[in-house]
Structure 1
Amino acid sequence: MKKLMIMTLMALAGCAATPGTEPYKDASLSVERRVEDLLRRMTLEEKVGQMNQFVGIEHIKANSGVLTEEELKTNTAQAFYPGIGPDTVLRWAEEGRIGSFLHVLTPEEANLLQEHVMRARLGIPAIFGIDAIHGNANAPGNTVYPTNIGLASSFNPELARRIARETAREMRAMNMHWTFNPNVEVARDARWGRCGETFGEDPWLVACMGLATTEGYQGALNSTQDVLACAKHFVGGSQPVNGTNGAPCDVSERTLREVFFPPFRTNIVRGGAGSLMTSHNELNGIPCHENEWLMEEVLRGEWGFDGFVVSDWMDIEHLYDLHATAENLKEAFYRSIMAGMDMHMHGLHWNELVCELVREGRIPESRIDASVRRILTAKFRLGLFEHPYADLDAQQTRLCAEHRATALDAARQSVVLLKNDGLLPLDAAKYRRILVTGINADDENILGDWSASQDPEDVTTILEGLRQVAPGVRFDFVDQGWDPRNMDPAKVAEAAAKARQADLNIVVAGEYMMRRRWMERTCGEDTDRDNIALVGLQQELIERVAASGKPTLLVLVNGRPLGVEWAAEHLPAIVEAWEPGMAGGRAVAEILFGEVNPSAKLPITIPRSAGQIQVYYNHKPSHYFHPVVCSDPEPLYPFGHGLSYTTFAYSDLTLSHETIAPDGRLTAEVTVTNTGKRDGTEIVQLYIRDLFSSVTRPVKELKAFSRESLKAGESRRVRFEITPEMLSMLDRNLQPIVEPGEFRVMVGPSSRDKELLTQTFEVCEQ
């Protein structure tokens, strides 16, 4: 039966690709000609259908059965009205009323839905979108890499590109064509639950990692190995009021253009991202989903974006039922489309109300054509008309050995050694009996947010990794359960008692992110907090285990920075593992026992507490003009911080010029020496400050970095080119300029002032 289904689908695919009287079916013609030919054949209903994205039938089955009567009455839950079931969705697909699907998690369902879509009059294939944030992890049976915040800790764009390329292959094997990633928001509030989905707090690092990710996904967008990237969320959602996802963002246009816009612009202008998703929030009083300035003036007008814009989940409806800028759904659809929206992510009434708006003359059909033209262009470039189905017998790409190896390599490069007073690396001959405890010690939660449960055989927990790496050590495990909010005091007491019998103790703490228990999560999308302390009895667990008097180290598994000030003051070692993915347990164990020398650095500042928010390294000079009292004003760990099992010394920072013109260039060189006894990799960071300027500038800005692998005792001259772009700023009229004056170059292992070597140069009048 399976073979018959595949043969039938392949036959249908062949028909769709065979040149005939309709030029849009002729793959030898240009994409532009095919699009225009198809567009002129389409009815209004078919055009609006291309702008409609809907959930898959299995998602409807799973969710409609768990909603209560009260939940069904809410606007957000209207997607699961009684009567809107799988049969209705399949009928709409055959009528050409759905142009895209999301939340489809198996190739079998994707092929089934595509088969119904291809039965429509014109046979326009659907484009399948999925939240493939760190691998296609939201679907079972795929490689799960570290989440973006861990990947950013590697400061390795080439690694990001490789992961994206592998993810694209696994997606296309499942008939998925479009990933809602990279998230290139700049995270400035640790209370916000989606920090782990971002590449951190620095606009330039975020831009670099996002660009490599986009390029990895898309390739040349001309083969069955490519997928469409989606830069999100545009814009300001990462600095919301009270750190709450979707809350208002009020920032100046200067802050937008200096901090939040650059990663998006880089991914659009340099990376050619094929799609963009607008943000849940309102920006300076205007919801992003109806913000014409963002979508038309900036995105298309200034940056020349030629892809399509998609809404976030039912956020166009929120213009009516949340933001209250539209009186009803019809008005909400009108406002969003006229502001530049191209595709609606899920919800009822889209097709009927948008067609009404066109027939009433409120929305010109030419405006609909513009959106459909962009969507069809993506479908043609992805080869969907020629290859609408996945081969169910060709799934070997998923979880292949090459991809598993990349996941392990990425996990090794993402783990940050925050503190080490000589305890690490562990000596298996010295510590023969080790207690392991904590909510994340033996749980699939290491997979991170945006991940489905995977086959346990494919996931290495931290406890499993320890036993693999150190088989001669006795590991006593006290299970604290997976839920930090409902820890058992008796289990905490048991761990405290067993800690006294051990040679060493490992507490694996942090947060819970797995989506299969949506309401129990403490970190991730829509899981924001009013503080950044450890949840539940975890702090008590750490203190009681440490009170044993035996060496105790802390491993953190989490997606947001956590204020672990007590541990930083009292424990000899702390490891930040972030959400390291399916190979994370092995990578953490290898680092703890010294098989791997840690190299990662923090892409985001770790505050001491929520009271320090907003704390970030690239602040303005007056940010800390009046220091706080009664506490340490410095963050717990600064941006760029990360330790190694060797040591590195910086010396002899030199500049090629003392003076340059505004359009001139110079080079900075520094000697980096591995002064320790083992090989290691150092992430050399270069920062620049404009010392005196017509508008205030940050005290330092990351402008370059380099991963340098050095043998023990080896020295190397590391060279950076400083370009006019690195020195540019926005003047009082928000125009880019390189102002004459003195600039400071800073090079070192982190953003901490005392660790940086400095030199100055001058930009002269032209």
Structure 2
Amino acid sequence: MTRSLAPDQPPSPPPPAEPHAGPRYRDAGELADHVLGLLTLDEKISLLHSDQPALPRVGLASFHTGGEVLHGVRVEVPCTVFPQAVGLGASWDPDLLERIGDAIGSEVDSLLQRNRHQPLVSRNVWSPVVNLLRDPRWGRNEEGYSEDPGLTSSLAVAFCSGLRGAGPGERPARWRIVPTLKHFVAYNHETDKFARSMDLRPRVLHEYDMVPFLEPVRAGVAAAVMPSYHLLNGRPSHLSEHLRLLRLHDPDLAVVSDGFAPSDIIDKSRYYEDREHAYPAAMRAGLDSFTDHLGDPTITVRALRDAVARGLLTEAEIDAAARRLLLLRARAGDLDTHREPVQDTVGAPAHRALAREAVRRSAVLLRNDGTLPLADGPGQSVAVIGPLADRCVRDWYGGPLPYRVTPVDGIRARAGGTVVYESGLDRITLRHRGDGRLLAATEDGGVCLTDVTGSDDTVFEVFDWGEGGICLRSVGNGMFLSWDRGGELPGGGRREILRCDREEPFGWEIRQTFRLERAEADGPWVLRNVYSGRYAATDATGGGLDLMAPDAGSALALDVEVLSLGAETAARAAGAADRAVVLVGTYPQINGMEGHDRKDTGLPSGQSALARAVIEANPRTAVVLVSGYPLSVTELAERAPALMWTSHGGQEFGNGLADLLFGDREPTGRLPQSWPRSADDLGDILGYDIIKSRLTYLYSDREPLFPFGHGLGYTDFRLGPSVLDRGTAAQDEVVTVSAELTNTGARAGEEVAQLYVRALDSPVPRPLRQLHGFRRVSVAPGARERVEFRLPVRDLAYWDVGRGRFTVAPGRYALTVARSAAAAGPGAVLTVVGEPLPPRDLGSRLVRAVDFDDYHAVRLTDQSPTTGEAVTASGPGSWLLFRDVLIARGHTGMVLRLGGPVRDMDAMGAGVAPSGGAAPPGRLEIRLGDPAGGRLVAVAEIPGDDTGRYSWRTVTVPLAPADGRHDVYLVFTGAGRLASLGLTAAESPEGHR
């Protein structure tokens, strides 16, 4: 998100020189402690809302948390806009990310200097997004960097370093900007995110999703984190006990809520019934700052005061949160009485140049038969074609573009010959079947039916966005068809009046997408708005056209007349040119955004047909795919002479792209995500367990369309075999792996050498290949460079659920220096020596049920409203596996913490009464070696469902003799829950505590 940034506030009176002026405070922490000691309880509570009021009595100005700077400052003042975050991820260039972060940070500094209370700007910013791009159907895919935790971490650390205003590893006394990492943790879907719980097993949490949050915190470049909206293992993320894991590395880390999320705990997730209980629970989980009610702190402050008055929250807990927020402000110098003036850098020439460089660095050349770079000269002509050829598109997390250099603009400025532009859009008219009048746009942006024919006002261009619908742009006034809310209707509600007055589709409500539908083959067409779901109809008062028809039967009946087919027009233009460039792709917000996932990853059919027509007309065609996520374009990947991908590139999109197309710069981008051949290869978007589902490049055995790390240049490279400096190493050592890179082409180039590792003897499923480092290497024509990577053996660890820590297993590991994940072959083999891993210990303590090694047909849920996680089974056939368990001769029983079946675990919360029935309970069978036919050694009866959601019963059952090491399966024959388990000895019949 985020919809919830604070409104402008009037300047507060200047703070007094005391109590916190001067150099007598050694550090930010001491200053924060001093200010905290001056505050009353009510003043401390007031700091816990995102809109902190001015407190002149103690010299505090007003302050708010939050401000979006994902790829530029998101304000209505035009600032520098860089390529989307996923495009920056494709750069594989931490130095670039640090420079961009520095540029954005300086523009925030400049805006705050102009007006300390600049709307939507703060020294605490809500960026970067470090959620891993597990599934490209996620509506917010464009906001993240990569599907790989290591690549994402390195880019996030660099970006945060730039924002903060000091290099990596430095510890500045004052931060220019305090970055906030979002959204913690494992957030990759929009559908039902407020109500449906996602399952995240410990190995996936520690090895994958948590990594890019931990690394910036460990590096000291991020001082805040934002939880996600969704529920995780049965509990809303704003109540997650996993937040405490981050505080192990920085006890002063501030936790700020997402917009409206505190209220969502009650209103949407329904986890608590009231704020007086929900808010203390959130604070105990780690939350410090409540972003709620759009700048109105009264509801939050009242709830916190009432919680303290009722003894549900202590002043010490208020103090801890207030101190972290004061420390955040002190780190950024916001508690100082003065600040040195800075140069105004908003839109500076150096930032414009950096934006152009970022476009060049983020584009990925996917395929090329020699069509690129484009031939150039006075006698050469190029046709530039497509719905995105003359557009620079803004997304929800970018501010307004200060200027727009579209692709055709950039190519015209660079080309030495003739440039012809063709949109490739169909042109249509819409005629009222009843009286023959035409739908028309008026000069003032209205929409009407007219008898006038032959006017551009009645002609609309059709933008095909696939499952997102179509947009209709008037040829007459150049604006997009949309709608606005009008006056009140007699029966309630408001009119929705059709308008044609929007320069581009944009906003939280995308009102510019429509569908032309008809109920039967020869019936009339009707026009339905995608957002409202209503149909165009004639206003009963005769005042124009509304979106008031609730169904197609009462909608305006239309006939569609096609005046020209864009594919045919484009093919003629391409056939007459020496070269063609066609730009097709997707539109941010229409093809998925916050609140809306995609069902498909294909290119819209109309755009696919356009690209095919251009290629058939001109075999010297370069196709540029513009999108915020991978596209399944199997046919284009086979047929396009040259294929390039780029994210939406901001203000300098056209110039940066032209630099690449004409070969003034080398394409150096590499894919930050695997590209699937179809959405069918992606599995369930709600399946976060990448190990079990074998998804992402790490585990997938499906052949991608283009692999993670793939990217070409305009020269050729040959990478020699990988060589290790030694064949064996202990766990505390560092090894060096290298390979020789040769430029076999005729021009200088830059390659991204990538180090991949595969565990060959692992006791648990491990990635088929995993990135452990990358280096950019520039090589002259015919020259060679040896690329070296130093790899600490401890980096080969996995999360050992049995011991609750990272462990390096002894055995063989294949290390390969490659040019992409798909090229990671056998490599060099390193043997890690060390003590054999011990067996799983279930005898010395109770073991959490969620710390299983494998499972089937179970869900993860909350053990209590505040702490603990458990496993729930819906019925027969569910099982858990605990590998290599030592059952000693003295183990005579098994102790289990069991619960009865629950009713609809996704719809239940703490203190919220469940509804509906539950599956009947059964037994829990303990079997060795196999869940179906393995030896049965113990049986426990699962309690009935009258015990309640958070009631658990500890039972001890006898265990048949089974000396030795075994794979232990816990098999459910009916519905039930399991929180923990352990083995008991004869002398401890009561089991573990």
TM-score, L = length of structure 1: 0.82
User: Shift of residue 281 of structure 1?
Assistant: 0.9
1:737 partner amino acid: T
Larger Rg: 2
User: How far, CA to CA, are the matches of 2:379 and 2:703 in structure 1?
Assistant: 35
Do the aligned residues in 2 keep the contact of 1:460 with 1:586 (CA within 8 Å)? Answer: yes
Query: Once the two structures are superposed, what CA deviation does each residue of 1:259-317 show, in whole Å capped at 9, x if it has no partner?
Result: 101111111112341100001111111110111x1122x122x3334121001111111
User: How far, CA to CA, are the matches of 1:248 and 1:428 in structure 2?
Assistant: 56
What is the aligned length? 669
User: How far, CA to CA, are the matches of 1:640 and 1:213 in structure 2?
Assistant: 20
- What aligned pairs does 1:685-724 form with structure 2 within 5 A after superposition? 685-724=754-793
Equivalent position of 2:227 in the other structure: 278
Relative to structure 1, is the Cα distance of residues 248 and 499 closer, same or farther in structure 2, using a 3 angstrom cutoff? Answer: farther
1:153 partner amino acid: A
- What aligned pairs does 1:304-703 form with structure 2 within 5 A after superposition? 304-347=250-293, 348=296, 349-386=299-336, 396-429=344-377, 432-445=380-393, 447-456=394-403, 459-478=404-423, 480=425, 484=465, 485-486=469-470, 490=564, 492=566, 493-513=568-588, 521-535=590-604, 537-614=606-683, 623=694, 633-703=702-772
Equivalent position of 2:119 in the other structure: none
Paired residue secondary structure (2:373): coil
1:270 partner amino acid: A
User: Shift of residue 662 of structure 1?
Assistant: 1.9
Do the aligned residues in 2 keep the contact of 1:478 with 1:491 (CA within 8 Å)? Answer: no
User: Shift of residue 451 of structure 1?
Assistant: 1.2
Task: Select the residue among 163, 169, 182 that pairs with 1:232.
Answer: 182
User: Shift of residue 387 of structure 1?
Assistant: 5.8
Task: Select the residue among 102, 107, 126 that pairs with 1:170.
Answer: 107
User: Shift of residue 545 of structure 1?
Assistant: 2.7
Greater Cα shift, 333-342 or 28-37:
28-37
Query: Once the two structures are superposed, what CA deviation does each residue of 1:557-592 show, in whole Å capped at 9, x if it has no partner?
Result: 211111112211221111111122222211111111
User: How far, CA to CA, are the matches of 1:746 and 1:698 in structure 2?
Assistant: 14
Do the aligned residues in 2 keep the contact of 1:243 with 1:528 (CA within 8 Å)? Answer: no
Task: Select the residue among 793, 810, 814 that pairs with 1:744.
Answer: 814
1:287 partner amino acid: P
User: Shift of residue 253 of structure 1?
Assistant: 1.1
Do the aligned residues in 2 keep the contact of 1:505 with 1:552 (CA within 8 Å)? Answer: yes
Structure with greater proportional strand content:
2
Cα RMSD between the aligned structures? 2.8
Greater Cα shift, 664-673 or 577-586:
577-586
User: How far, CA to CA, are the matches of 1:337 and 1:390 in structure 2?
Assistant: 35
Equivalent position of 2:888 in the other structure: none
Matched, 1:39 2:36: yes
Relative to structure 1, is the Cα distance of residues 534 and 259 closer, same or farther in structure 2, using a 3 angstrom cutoff? Answer: same
User: How far, CA to CA, are the matches of 2:642 and 2:591 in structure 1?
Assistant: 24
User: How far, CA to CA, are the matches of 1:615 and 1:707 in structure 2?
Assistant: 35
User: How far, CA to CA, are the matches of 1:246 and 1:704 in structure 2?
Assistant: 38
User: Shift of residue 712 of structure 1?
Assistant: 0.9
Relative to structure 1, is the Cα distance of residues 583 and 319 closer, same or farther in structure 2, using a 3 angstrom cutoff? Answer: same
User: How far, CA to CA, are the matches of 2:33 and 2:723 in structure 1?
Assistant: 58
Do the aligned residues in 1 keep the contact of 2:257 with 2:290 (CA within 8 Å)? Answer: yes
User: Shift of residue 129 of structure 1?
Assistant: 2.4
User: How far, CA to CA, are the matches of 2:303 and 2:633 in structure 1?
Assistant: 52
Matched, 1:130 2:67: yes
Greater Cα shift, 268-277 or 30-39:
30-39
Equivalent position of 2:452 in the other structure: none
User: Shift of residue 241 of structure 1?
Assistant: 7.8
1:760 partner amino acid: V
User: How far, CA to CA, are the matches of 2:731 and 2:416 in structure 1?
Assistant: 61
Do the aligned residues in 1 keep the contact of 2:79 with 2:400 (CA within 8 Å)? Answer: no
Relative to structure 1, is the Cα distance of residues 253 and 388 closer, same or farther in structure 2, using a 3 angstrom cutoff? Answer: farther
User: How far, CA to CA, are the matches of 1:140 and 1:439 in structure 2?
Assistant: 27
Do the aligned residues in 2 keep the contact of 1:160 with 1:212 (CA within 8 Å)? Answer: yes
Relative to structure 1, is the Cα distance of residues 431 and 340 closer, same or farther in structure 2, using a 3 angstrom cutoff? Answer: farther
User: How far, CA to CA, are the matches of 2:263 and 2:338 in structure 1?
Assistant: 31
User: Shift of residue 157 of structure 1?
Assistant: 0.8
Greater Cα shift, 591-600 or 140-149:
140-149
Gaps of 5+ in 1: 1-7, 55-97, 100-116, 514-519, 625-631
Paired residue secondary structure (1:673): strand
Do the aligned residues in 1 keep the contact of 2:157 with 2:221 (CA within 8 Å)? Answer: no
Query: Once the two structures are superposed, what CA deviation does each residue of 1:81-101 show, in whole Å capped at 9, x if it has no partner?
Result: xxxxxxxxxxxxxxxxx35xx
Do the aligned residues in 1 keep the contact of 2:619 with 2:641 (CA within 8 Å)? Answer: no
Gaps of 5+ in 2: 1-9, 113-121, 426-460, 473-561, 696-700, 836-993
User: How far, CA to CA, are the matches of 2:328 and 2:288 in structure 1?
Assistant: 13
Equivalent position of 2:49 in the other structure: 52
Relative to structure 1, is the Cα distance of residues 304 and 37 closer, same or farther in structure 2, using a 3 angstrom cutoff? Answer: closer
Matched, 1:287 2:233: no
Paired residue secondary structure (1:338): helix
Relative to structure 1, is the Cα distance of residues 386 and 125 closer, same or farther in structure 2, using a 3 angstrom cutoff? Answer: farther
User: How far, CA to CA, are the matches of 1:183 and 1:246 in structure 2?
Assistant: 22
Paired residue secondary structure (1:215): helix
Greater Cα shift, 521-530 or 602-611:
521-530
Relative to structure 1, is the Cα distance of residues 384 and 590 closer, same or farther in structure 2, using a 3 angstrom cutoff? Answer: same
Do the aligned residues in 2 keep the contact of 1:668 with 1:720 (CA within 8 Å)? Answer: yes
1:407 partner amino acid: A
User: Shift of residue 439 of structure 1?
Assistant: 2.3
User: Shift of residue 229 of structure 1?
Assistant: 0.7
Do the aligned residues in 1 keep the contact of 2:734 with 2:793 (CA within 8 Å)? Answer: yes
1:462 partner amino acid: P
Relative to structure 1, is the Cα distance of residues 639 and 201 closer, same or farther in structure 2, using a 3 angstrom cutoff? Answer: same
Matched, 1:725 2:794: yes
Greater Cα shift, 399-408 or 713-722:
399-408
Relative to structure 1, is the Cα distance of residues 319 and 588 closer, same or farther in structure 2, using a 3 angstrom cutoff? Answer: same
1:468 partner amino acid: A
Do the aligned residues in 1 keep the contact of 2:369 with 2:641 (CA within 8 Å)? Answer: yes
Do the aligned residues in 1 keep the contact of 2:669 with 2:711 (CA within 8 Å)? Answer: yes
User: How far, CA to CA, are the matches of 1:579 and 1:244 in structure 2?
Assistant: 26
Relative to structure 1, is the Cα distance of residues 305 and 709 closer, same or farther in structure 2, using a 3 angstrom cutoff? Answer: farther
Do the aligned residues in 1 keep the contact of 2:195 with 2:269 (CA within 8 Å)? Answer: no
1:368 partner amino acid: I
Equivalent position of 2:441 in the other structure: none
TM-score, L = length of structure 2: 0.64
User: Shift of residue 694 of structure 1?
Assistant: 1.7
Paired residue secondary structure (1:752): helix
Query: Once the two structures are superposed, what CA deviation does each residue of 1:522-572 show, in whole Å capped at 9, x if it has no partner?
Result: 233333211112236222222233332443322122111111122112211
User: How far, CA to CA, are the matches of 1:431 and 1:545 in structure 2?
Assistant: 21
Equivalent position of 2:89 in the other structure: 152
Matched, 1:269 2:218: yes
Equivalent position of 1:161 in the other structure: 98
User: How far, CA to CA, are the matches of 1:547 and 1:170 in structure 2?
Assistant: 47
Relative to structure 1, is the Cα distance of residues 305 and 470 closer, same or farther in structure 2, using a 3 angstrom cutoff? Answer: farther
Paired residue secondary structure (2:345): coil
Paired residue secondary structure (1:744): strand
User: How far, CA to CA, are the matches of 2:175 and 2:405 in structure 1?
Assistant: 28
User: How far, CA to CA, are the matches of 1:245 and 1:654 in structure 2?
Assistant: 50
Paired residue secondary structure (1:417): strand
Paired residue secondary structure (2:129): coil
